[in-house]
Chain A
Amino acid sequence: MKKNLILDVDTGVDDAFAILFAARHPEINLLGITCVDGNTNLENVIANTLKTLDAAGAGDIPVARGATRPLIDEPRYAEFVHGSDGLLDMGIPPSKRVLDPRPAVELIRDLIEGAAGPVTLIPLAPLTNIALFLRAFPDTAAKLERIVLMGGSASAGNATATAEFNIWHDPEAAAIVFSSGIPITMYGLDVFTRLQLTHDHGTELKSREHECSQFSGELIQRFVKQFTALADQSEITLGDYGAVATAIAPHLVTMERYRVVVDTTFGPNRGQTVCDRRTFADSAQDSIHSNAPSVDVVMDLDVDAITEMWMRTITQ
């Protein structure tokens, strides 16, 4: 049976990798996509998402407008990574696709209520839309099979020394999601950079005729160029795609169960996903973690199989 997925994105180069895959994989039923500000502003995110669906040759998948900014903090973008338009300024003309008229949270509700079978929600972005959905429609949210999210870290951060970008962008939203009681898989920085591609992958894709391969190859090569300039690094990561892969092929990853608390205080660790990795903990002394729900944290993965699954799906 196909797996029902809803993606929440801030497209974003690696969001594009994830969308291309989800729209094309034969075992995924992509119900819809909701957009939120994150890597870049919401208008860019929407434009990039629609262009990516065009490149994927996707059918009529509803795409909805979500939050323009985090719940509390001012928005802070990552355009130094993703380019001024959030998709490395490829110069692709605007898509002719039409946005769904519903707000993101209403679309998520309607898709879950209307789905035949369970639905997995895959946030690849700051969790603003998801938190609002959980508060606005708690009865529908309880029907979710699982949330598989890209975000957080059981080790170091990237936006700050300890916080990963998506969580740091909207810590309150993340705290709402992590404490929701819905089963959560966290695909975070512990594995995020492991699925690597190089310029050669781009060349291979560009040698193929169809639009999806062309688009992907160009995106990869531009991303390699960006990372070479930024960090003198010639490999790029498939990033967000890994969370989609985890949702449909959990046998290809290794997970650990940790109790996770999102730091919403305003100190140096704001936005950190504090994962309790102790093997022995005196819960009486630590009510914060002993009361936190356990999360399945991806700690290792079959790099070759997951990378190959992406290349195969893009070129098929």
Chain B
Amino acid sequence: MNPTPIILDCDPGHDDALAIILAAYNPAIDLRGITTVSGNGGIDKVTQNALRVCALAKIQVPVAQGSGVSLMGFADAATDIHGASALDGAPLPEPTFELSKESGVELIARLVEESVEPITLVATGPLTNIALFLKLYPQLISKIAHIVFMGGSAGRGNRSPYAEFNIWMDPEAAEVVLHSGLPLTMCGLDVTHEALVTTEVFAEIQKLDTHLSTTVVGLLHFFREKYYEVFEMPDPPLHDPVAIAVLIDPTVVTSKFVNVEVELEGVHTRGATVVDIFNRTHRTPNTTVALSLDAPKFWALMTDAIEKAGLA
């Protein structure tokens, strides 16, 4: 089977960094480009991080900087989880290539336009760039095969009691994506909180004993400490690579096709995804929502990519 061509829109971020590595080092994925969006850190930081992760893992794809604020102009960062650089915990090499001169949405538009096959967009940050792309280039929407996003939750949130961080950062962009009419897959906290970096996982990665695996372990140790501080979770959830894993092997998750809406107002719940699992609203289903994860299968894919990247 031909690899799935994707563009990865991300805000690295520890788990984004691992999503980049999985996308670049699994043969089922054809990573065409990377765009950045402010989220886990400010736009300059996450863009630098994307370039540094590419340098670390010897990845050579166009990287373009996207939006520094949400659609409505909001900016924030998750320094409590990702640290001051948005990717604290291990030294990373300097970038080995230049940032694209195009903006994030322009790069997405060009890559989609140039592609013979339809492109899948994978978003592991706030959905600002994706929403802007859909609004700016409606004539290219027919060339999008699928949008997979890490974000939302059918249950509780993590940035606020009921809102997950990526959707909370830009609820209006999520609204645009959810109403795009395109095939959508949501990998929310329901499934990413099962992608836990356990002691056994640490041991597996450590065993690879490459420069890259050692760096990854350093990054994930920082991530683990922060997750314990903030959420009292002994093992941190590696959210973002799940959105890549479902494209490599859909059986990594079990999911349900249901209606998902996003709360745009809400005194206490702005940015919450309202996931109608039992079709109580009779709204038209628009999203395939991943609800549980085959963790061993997921980790087999992830550690395989870390191994391959370390040997590259």
Chain A: which residue is nearest B137 at the CB level?
A: A103
Does B105 count as interface, using CB distance less than 8 angstroms? yes
Number of residue pairs A-B, CB distance < 8 angstroms: 43
Does A208 count as interface, using CB distance less than 8 angstroms? no
The docked-state distance in angstroms from the alpha carbon of A176 to that of B67 is 14
Q: Assuming A72-B176, A172-B72, is B136 touching A265 (CB within 8 A)?
A: no
Q: Assuming A72-B176, A266-B264, A266-B265, is B71 touching A136 (CB within 8 A)?
A: no
A176 neighbours in B (Cβ, 8 Å): 71-73
The docked-state distance in angstroms from the alpha carbon of A179 to that of B70 is 13
B137 neighbours in A (Cβ, 8 Å): 103
Scan residues 124-167 of chain B and give those whose CB is less than 8 A from a CB of chain A.
128, 132, 135-138
B72 with A175: CB separation less than 8 A: yes
The docked-state distance in angstroms from the alpha carbon of A136 to that of B135 is 10
Chain A: which residue is nearest B103 at the CB level?
A: A136
A128 neighbours in B (Cβ, 8 Å): 135
Does B190 count as interface, using CB distance less than 8 angstroms? no
Q: Assuming A72-B176, A172-B172, A265-B265, is B72 touching A136 (CB within 8 A)?
A: no
A68 with B176: CB separation less than 8 A: no
**Cβ distance B258 to chain A, nearest Cβ, rounded Å:** 21
Does A137 count as interface, using CB distance less than 8 angstroms? yes
B172 with A72: CB separation less than 8 A: yes
B71 neighbours in A (Cβ, 8 Å): 71, 131, 135, 172, 176
Q: Assuming A172-B72, A176-B73, A265-B265, is B172 touching A136 (CB within 8 A)?
A: no
**Cβ distance B65 to chain A, nearest Cβ, rounded Å:** 12
Does B9 count as interface, using CB distance less than 8 angstroms? no
Q: Assuming A135-B67, A136-B105, A266-B264, is B135 touching A71 (CB within 8 A)?
A: yes
Please encode chain B, from 232 to 248, with 1 for each CB lying within 8 Å of some chain A CB and 0 for all others: 00000000000000000
Scan residues 246-286 of chain A and give those whose CB is less than 8 A from a CB of chain B.
264-266
Please encode chain A, from 57 to 79, with 1 for each CB lying within 8 Å of some chain B CB and 0 for all others: 00000000001100110000000
B136 neighbours in A (Cβ, 8 Å): 103, 105, 132, 136
B132 with A132: CB separation less than 8 A: yes
Q: Assuming A172-B72, A266-B265, is B132 touching A136 (CB within 8 A)?
A: yes
Q: In which size bucket is the chain A interface? A: 20 to 34
A71 with B138: CB separation less than 8 A: no
Does B175 count as interface, using CB distance less than 8 angstroms? yes
Please encode chain B, from 190 to 229, with 1 for each CB lying within 8 Å of some chain A CB and 0 for all others: 0000000000000000000000000000000000000000
Chain B: which residue is nearest A181 at the CB level?
A: B73
**Cβ distance B285 to chain A, nearest Cβ, rounded Å:** 19
Q: Which of A67, A72, A136 has the most CB of B within 10 A?
A: A136
A68 with B138: CB separation less than 8 A: yes
The docked-state distance in angstroms from the alpha carbon of A68 to that of B72 is 20
A67 neighbours in B (Cβ, 8 Å): 135, 138
B105 neighbours in A (Cβ, 8 Å): 136
B67 neighbours in A (Cβ, 8 Å): 135
B132 with A179: CB separation less than 8 A: no
B73 with A71: CB separation less than 8 A: no
**Cβ distance A106 to chain B, nearest Cβ, rounded Å:** 8
B176 neighbours in A (Cβ, 8 Å): 71-72
Chain A: which residue is nearest B70 at the CB level?
A: A135
**Cβ distance A66 to chain B, nearest Cβ, rounded Å:** 9
B72 neighbours in A (Cβ, 8 Å): 172, 175-176, 264
Scan residues 19-71 of chain B and give those whose CB is less than 8 A from a CB of chain A.
67-69, 71
Among candidates A72, A131, A137, residue contacting B103 with C-beta atoms closer than 8 Å? A137
The docked-state distance in angstroms from the alpha carbon of A231 to that of B142 is 44
A172 neighbours in B (Cβ, 8 Å): 71-72, 172
Chain B: which residue is nearest A267 at the CB level?
A: B265
B103 neighbours in A (Cβ, 8 Å): 136-137
Please encode chain B, from 252 to 282, with 1 for each CB lying within 8 Å of some chain A CB and 0 for all others: 0000000000001100000000000000000
Please encode chain A, from 30 to 68, with 1 for each CB lying within 8 Å of some chain B CB and 0 for all others: 000000000000000000000000000000000000011
B138 neighbours in A (Cβ, 8 Å): 67-68
B69 neighbours in A (Cβ, 8 Å): 135
Q: A132-B135, A135-B67, A266-B264 are in contact. List 19 more A-B contacts (CB 8 A).
A: A67-B135, A67-B138, A68-B138, A71-B71, A71-B135, A72-B172, A72-B176, A72-B264, A103-B136, A128-B135, A132-B132, A135-B69, A135-B71, A135-B132, A136-B103, A176-B71, A176-B72, A179-B73, A265-B265
In the complex, 6 of the A-B residue pairs with CB atoms within 8 angstroms, ordered by the A residue number, are A71-B71, A72-B264, A128-B135, A135-B71, A176-B73, A179-B73
Q: What are the nearest 6 A-B pairs in CB distance?
A: A132-B135, A72-B175, A266-B265, A105-B136, A136-B105, A132-B136
